[in-house]
Amino acid sequence: MAQQRGKTNKADATRRQLLDAALSVISERGYADTTVDRIVEVAGVSKGVAYYHFASKADIATCILVEGVGGIIDEFEVVAAAAPSATDALVAMMESFAAVIFRNADFGRFLVSELWRRGREWSDALRVLEERLLAVLRSQIERGQREGSIRAGVDASFEAVAIVGMVLTATLHYIREAEQRIEDGCAPARAHAETERAFLFHIQDYVHHANA
């Protein structure tokens, strides 16, 4: 049993290594110019190992996006179930979404380039996940309308889409701002912490006042 667990853990670690390497290469080169050869070179594994875990480059990309967005949705659903009010839920959901992108800007850039694109192998899977994501947001916006914290005239569907677009693009903007501060000599930990803190303040302000 312990030996089997060890094999499983090693396989999971190798799979994660390949996904992280692929995301790094995609961020550097773009998806079209990314090759499996380069992914395995960065991951430090053989091509045979890569094809043991994934059927193709597109399969790797699909897993990156589906697992990443799926994790965001899972967190949204936990937050929505536990939050005492819609305002609390929306703030926490937007903060958790932003935190994912702050921790992994490469994923954020890949997601924003692919979320609304058509014709990719993962497009249909992303459409399903996008609708789940928007549904959780809509439910909390509508809850806020019932609670009186969000104006009744706000279009919940539009607002949900706007939140996703705003968090994605604004987070990436703030990450670039932190990177610029680092280039100008600011300590990396300080630059990222202060920039993220400023962004989260604006999220809270938006939820509390934009729709009142």
Q: Give, for 18, the enclosing helix (H) or strand (E).
A: helix 2-29
Nearest by Cα to 56 from 119, 130, 120, 109: 120
Distance (Å, rounded) from C-alpha 29 to C-alpha 75? 30
Q: Cα torsion for 185, 197, 155, 82, to the nearest 10°?
A: 140
Q: Are 69 and 133 in contact (CB under 8 A)?
A: yes
Nearest by Cα to 57 from 96, 79, 29: 29
Taking each helix axis as running N to C, give the angle between helix 57-82 and helix 2-29, from 0 to 180 degrees, rounded to the nearest 10.
100
Token pair belonging to 23: 């995301």
Q: Cα torsion for 50, 53, 55, 58, to the nearest 10°?
A: -80
Q: Are 54 and 43 in contact (CB under 8 A)?
A: no
DSSP per position, 106-160: HHHHHHHHHTT--SSTTHHHHHHHHHHHHHHHHHHHHHHHHHTSS-TTS-HHHHH
- Tens-level pLDDT at each residue, the chain (212 residues): 545 555 568 888 999 999 999 999 999 999 999 999 999 999 999 999 999 999 999 999 999 999 999 999 999 999 999 999 999 999 999 999 999 999 999 999 999 999 888 888 888 999 999 999 999 999 999 999 999 999 999 999 999 999 999 999 999 999 999 999 999 999 989 988 898 888 888 888 887 776 76
Distance (Å, rounded) from C-alpha 160 to C-alpha 139? 9
Amino acid at 134: L
Residue 118 is predicted with a pLDDT of 85
Question: Which residues, at least 6 apart from 11, have a Cβ–Cβ distance to it below 8 Å?
Answer: 53
For residue 166, the number of C-alpha atoms closer than 13 Å in the C-beta half-sphere is: 15
SS3 31: coil
